[in-house]
Amino acid sequence: MKGRLTNLFWFSVDHGPTLMTIGFSSYVIALSQTSKIPTDIVLQWILAILGLLAVSELTERLRRIRRIEENTKKALHTIENKFGERASASSFFMKKLPRLDPYLEKASKVCCTGVTLQKMTREHIHTFAELLQDGALIQIIIVNPDSEAAKQVSEAGVSYPIEMLKANAHSTITNISWLSSLPESKGKIELKMIDEHIHFNTLSIDPDKDRGIIFIEMTSQRWVSRNRPRFELTRRRDHFWFNYFQNQFDKVWDDARPVSLNKVTNSGS
């Protein structure tokens, strides 16, 4: 209620004199056309209209000063966050990732790392299929479900038994195998596994282009909550750290073991 009254007040201040000037001028013109008015009365009305015009001009100046003040406060806040007191972590970390479809729709290269990435491949399988039809390159790294690292991940979770982890990994492999077998595909999808724990999940979209973006999801030491810190990096804004995380993916990719997707497809898995 208070906000509405404040908005109504500033609307009246900003636009009231102008509206009054237009209304009074229209009334005077209409009245002068329908009846005879003494000259001294007309002069008084003209002076009143000029006064309203002067008030309107002052109101416009007040509006400009208020806008300058608001922009100055925003600029000061930005400078303080940059060079003064550190900005709140809540303004940097995200509790969940944004909708990824708008980022993926026009991608020519996608790089993913995660423990199983079952949810990623399941939710975006049709988007990946369209990207492959357009000639995109998709590279995916997951943890070997039969490795000691997978066992450690399972033991760290309160409700993530190793059987579920293996089932999720198998689902990911099946989805990727299906994508790799699409006859109309002009692109390429590759899957690799590592036998070590992944310290963070990544999703890189067009990392080699100026518009590149990387979403980072930090893994927890203990799986006590679904809310894990996530953040995004862009090549234009975060050049150094963007390259850091992309180089991490490239090095892991070089060390990871390729998975033969043709064997999975042919075996009917």
Question: What is the pLDDT confidence band of residue 131, given thresholds at 50, 70 and 90?
Answer: very high
User: What pLDDT, on a 0 to 100 scale, did the predictor assign at position 267?
Assistant: 44
146 has pLDDT over 90: yes
Query: Is the separation of the CB atoms in 216 and 202 below 8 Å?
Result: yes
Could you tell me the pTM of the whole model? 0.66
Q: How far from 151 is each of 71, 79, 155, 187, 231, CA to CA, in Å? A: 54, 47, 6, 34, 27
269 has pLDDT over 50: no
Question: What is the pLDDT confidence band of residue 70, given thresholds at 50, 70 and 90?
Answer: confident
User: What pLDDT, on a 0 to 100 scale, did the predictor assign at position 87?
Assistant: 64
Query: Is the separation of the CB atoms in 194 and 112 below 8 Å?
Result: no
CA 220/CA 226 separation, integer angstroms: 10
Amino acid letter, residue 204 = S
Q: How far from 72 is each of 59, 66, 67, 78, CA to CA, in Å? A: 20, 10, 8, 10
For the ranges 44-53, 59-68, 166-175, the lowest mean pLDDT is seen at 44-53
Higher pLDDT, 57 or 243: 243
Query: Is the separation of the CB atoms in 163 and 113 below 8 Å?
Result: no
Higher pLDDT, 29 or 118: 118
Mean pLDDT of the 203-224 span:
87
